[in-house]
Structure 1
Amino acid sequence: MRIRRLSPAAAARSNGQTAIATIARSGSANLLGAGLSALANFTLVVLVSRMWSLEIAGSLFAVTSIFLIALALSQLGVDQGLVRFIAWNSARGEGGSNRQLVSRGLKVALAVSFVVMVAGLFLAEALSRLLAGESGATTTHQMIMVFAIALPVAAAYELILAITRGLARMRPTILIERILRPLLQLAAVAYAGWMNADAGYLALAWVAPYGVGLLCAVGSLRFIVRATPGLLDRGSSVHSKANISEFWAFTVPRGVARLAQVGLQRADIAIVVVLAGPAAGALYTAVTRFLVLGQLAGSALQQVSEPQLARLLAVKDVDGVKQVARRLTLWTVLLTWPLYLIIAVYAEFFLRLLFGPPYGAGSLSLQILAVAMLFATAMGPLDVLLLMAGRSSLSLINTTTALAVDVAGCLLLVPTMGITGAAIAWAAAIITKNVLCFVQVRRSLGIVPASQELLWVAVTLVAFFGAVPGLVHHLASVPPAVEITVLAVPAAAYIIFLWLRRRVILVGPAPRTASGPEHNQP
């Protein structure tokens, strides 16, 4: 009797395909949740822009940006560290270290969040004058006080959800973070607008869903631990100490990188408000919210892939990692490029339609950022690969460099070019970070997420959603609303294209079969 054994290459393919299948199952649900979350967050910005003045809207957007930066600071990268190390330990059969890891991480991160809260309360008055001047300082001060008090609650909420993801349980994140919290936030803000609430109640409506989410997240974690005994058992003291040391060596650089990453996404809004006023900040926030619609789709896939990539890297399955990275890149491009291409063509129309006539002034900024995001999504999950491989220091260098480019560009360009200068600065930062990540992933892991499939998909998408609508837009003398109906033709062609290529898109091209002694060994 002859026993069939897989060659190392075939085994790697099997591991990679198993991870891809797992990501596809969880990712589809997470993607639906991310789509709902993106729509809710986008609608939230529309409601605030429509129901409150440009000045109040701009102040809220600036304060929420600072809040998210402070939230990243308070977590010290512990959330990302918990995801990576809980999954890593489980793959190596060292899950006994997870309990102490979770305990230490939560205590430190929550202590820092309280320190940041106290600092926010102390600096609230000075910060309100900086953002809104003397005329709007009272309104902005109320917002800052509410957000500062809510900071530890939001930090605890995100940390608990990170633990569930590290345990390879995506359902709490999908149901609570992707669906429940955004919908509660939208409903609360809509009610505040309907009641003509002041700025303080508007801020409370924005942050209150974090408290509800925290209760749900804690309940979900307790259920997971009780349903699966042993997930967070205590490990040996020697091994736990070594694991915790390794954890902080990864997490501290990651915490700084996370802070820089959120700063990269949000600091320019605060800078625009300070240099050009709250009204310009509201315009720029409306522009950037279009990009979030696409970013959440990519982040939903990457979030699901993190534990799978960590497991593959833990057993040094580079071929499996390569398969997963290429599939994630392809899926992200398929999901985001149609949106970014259409936004680039019809930027002014969408801004005026959704946010009001004054917001049409941000069309050029939106086009610049949409093109930058086409480049970023085509590069693949580079930062996730660095992090799951334990290269948090490289991620730190990349993100802080990009942040420096963004801040310097804003300081130089916003005074003369307004929000267009801010868009140019952010686009330059996006390109800088992705180029650095690409070089490092290729050198350290030998992985290039691009593939031949990605090339023909990109060409097809540019033809369907860039070239055809662009020609109609510039040549046809019809209203934009009529032009957009023409998109039904390329959209239908795109759906047919996806259906015909569904197998290749989902699992990749069929591997070549090979025969030889390595496939049939006694």
Structure 2
Amino acid sequence: MTATTAQADPRGATRDTARGGLANMAGSALAGGTGVVVTWIVARALGAEQAGAFFAATAAFVLVGGLAKLGTQTGLVYWPARLRSTGQDHLLGACLRAGIPPVAGFSLLLGVAMWLAAPAIARLTAGEAPEVVAGHTAGLRVLAVFVPLQALTDVLLTVTRGYRSMRPTVLLDRVLRSGLQLLAVGAAGVAALWVTASLPVFALAWAAPYLPVAILAAVAARRAYTSGRTRVSTDRGERRRVRREFWVFTAPRAVAAVAQLALQRVDVLLVAALGGLAPAAVYAVAGRFVVLIQFANQGLSQSVQPRLAETLSTGDLAAAKRLYQIATGWLVLVTWPISLLVMALAPWYLRLFGDGYASGVPVVRVLAAAMLVATGCGMVDMVLAMAGRTSLNLGNVLIALTVTIGLDVWLIPRWGALGAAAGLAGAMVVNNLLPLVQVHRSTGLHPFGRGTLTAAFLALLCFGFIQFFPAAIVIAVPAYAAGAWLLRGPLMLGAFRRKS
């Protein structure tokens, strides 16, 4: 679709975004659900101390992988969308060559660095007990082998999204990878019934699915590129310009992406280092629902991202505002009931993982309240980046990271896992309200449209009172479904219908 067509057919863009977002959110729900089950298996099979070591190791793995991607998850969507909308399709190949090879090389270096640093990371997070440190080190080294595959998988799937194709992300990352992780970790959990559970075995089971998914992601990315390739020769000057502009835009996102991941993962490492492995396990289990909501947010924002980049690059602020507000309404409609439910049902939810996790109830409630604020702002961080304000984006994330680390160091020694929850909640509020103000001041965009307010009111009306009467969930769920149907006009749910 050209820029002109996009402006002329905003309903078509909304419908396409809805279809892609629905598929991505469904896949994200599956991935989030399997993640909860994997967490349950690990918590049950390894016990609190080894489970804490496992969660700390996977947090380190995700952080290193995020650094390896060099911020290209944004650049490889923004620039292809911008080049297509401005009639420069012939430069897409130069854009991809600017982004992918550096990630491949840097991820190999970071994988080696993680392997070499594994003993030091293990001593920092697991204490000095030789048996625990040895198992933690082995688990970290298993994960280090898969760092390049993790980084390349995400980057190659980003390429397909830059071509507006959500299917590879849904099928390969959300369905295949998460499904294989569940099967492999489940098999390790069953084996632990007869032999002693081993952290390195669970780490291998969790990471191994990246191998087949990386291969299939490469095939999907190549197919997307060749199908849309324009055979027009480009001179060396144009290619240099593309590389320079790509990295001027992407470089701030490289740091911001790592800081963003640190916001989500460093707290587990800090709880392990400052409070011990058992509190780290409690914190990771109690906060697992946050990952489920983040998956939903990511699934919808990945669908909106290329459309939003095109509308902002052509100056169509009205279409950008419409997309942002409609998508935020859908996000609130999906995620606010989850947050309100886990706040009310936290004591029962945590018992599924074992008696030792009951102390995580306050953690769940603090994080759930913060998620209401974060999702109410929509995918504001992505909107700021797609508007080209990546330097502001970097500053916001660094401020939020400073908040979470400062609060964690201050509160974890006193409150344990609850201190980490307070740190993350403070960071989430800062990291959403700051860009919200900046987006509105620079572009006039905000997420509080009719659909957002309708979804928020409906969620609070149906699920707010179960905080005091949990049994009322049997009424709240059907009432919410009926309310969404009756209010489908303001919520723009008609966009999900098949085109006649």
Q: Smaller-chain TM-score range?
A: over 0.9
| C-alpha distance after superposition, 1:391-419 (max 9, x if no partner) | 11111001110000000100000001111
Indicate the residue corresponding to 1:82 in structure 2. Answer: 76
Partner of 2:247: 248
Partner of 1:183: 179
Q: Which residue of 1 aligns with 2:498?
A: none
Q: Deviations over 1:5-29 (max 9, x none)?
A: xxxxx99874433321111111111
Q: CA deviation at 1:229?
A: 4.9
Give the TM-score normalised by structure 1. 0.90
Instruction: Answer yes or no: is 1:98 the counterpart of 2:92.
Output: yes
Number of the residue aligned with 1:477 = none
**Residue-by-residue CA offset, 1:361-398 (whole Å, 9 max, x unaligned):** 00001101100000111112211111111111111001
Tell me the alpha carbon deviations over residues 316-374 of structure 1, each in whole angstroms, 9 at most, x when there is no partner: 1000000000001100000000110011112122111x211111100001101100000
Label 1:11 to 1:447 Cα distance change in 2 as closer, same or farther (>3 A): farther
- After TM superposition, give the deviation of residue 157 of structure 1 in Å: 1.1
Query: Aligned residue for 2:211?
Result: 211
What are the residue-to-residue correspondences of 1:122-141 with 2, within 5 Å? 122-135=116-129, 136-141=132-137
Letter in 1 for 2:120: A
Aligned pair partner of 1:46 in 16, 40, 49: 40
Amino acid at match of 2:355: P
Tell whether the 8 Å contact from 1:98 to 1:234 is kept in structure 2 after alignment: no
Counterparts of 2:205 and 2:147, CA distance in 1? 14
Give the equivalent residue in structure 1 for 2:487: 501
Counterpart of 1:430 in structure 2 is 428
2:449 to 448, 451, 459: 451
CA change 1:176–1:12 in 2 (3 A) is closer
Distance 1:34 1:234, change over 3 A: farther
Note the 1:203-282 alignment, pairs <5 A.
203-226=203-226, 228-230=227-229, 235-282=234-281
The residue identity in structure 1 corresponding to 2:343 is A
Counterpart CA distance in 1 for 2:245 and 2:83 is 12
Identity of aligned residues (%): 35
What is the distance in 2 between the residues matched to 1:435 and 1:79?
23
Distance 1:225 1:101, change over 3 A: closer
Alpha-carbon distance between aligned partners in 2 of 1:110 and 1:16, rounded to the nearest angstrom: 38
Note the C-alpha offset of 1:193: 1.5
Against the structure 1 CA distance between its residues 507 and 185, is the aligned structure 2 distance closer, same or farther, given a 3 Å change threshold?
A: closer
Which residue of 2 is the match for residue 513 of structure 1? none
1:98-124 Cα distance to aligned partner (Å, 9 max, x none): 112212311111111122112112211
**TM-score, normalised with respect to structure 2:** 0.94
Identify the match of residue 166 of structure 1 among 162, 172, 177. Answer: 162
Runs (5+) with no aligned partner, structure 1: 1-9, 474-482, 510-522
2:20 corresponds to: 26
Task: Check whether the contact 1:82–1:102 (CA below 8 A) recurs between aligned residues.
Answer: yes
Q: Which amino acid aligns with 1:387?
A: A
Question: Alpha carbons of 1:88 and 1:416: their partners in 2 closer, same or farther (altered >3 Å)?
Answer: same
Farther off after superposition, 122-131 or 41-50:
122-131
Compute the RMSD of aligned alpha carbons: 1.9
Question: Over residues 429-482 of structure 1, what are the superposed CA-to-partner deviations in whole Å (9 max), with x where a residue is unaligned?
Answer: 111111111110011111111124422332221121112x12324xxxxxxxxx
The answer to whether the 8 A contact 1:327-1:508 is kept is no
Instruction: Tell me the equivalent position of 2:145.
Output: 149
For residues 277-296 of structure 1, the aligned pairs below 5 Å read 277-296=276-295
Q: CA deviation at 1:507?
A: 6.2
Tell me how far apart the structure 1 counterparts of residues 235 and 494 of structure 2 sit (CA, whole Å): 42
**Is the 2:381–2:393 contact (alpha carbons within 8 Å) kept by the matching residues of 1?**
yes
Within-5 A mapping of 1:353-368: 354-368=352-366
Identify if the C-alpha distance between structure 1 residues 501 and 11 changes in structure 2 by more than 3 Å, giving closer, same or farther: farther
Name the aligned partner's letter for residue 107 of structure 2. Answer: S
The answer to whether the 8 Å contact 2:13/2:307 transfers is yes
Structure 2 distance, partners of 1:176, 1:233, is 32
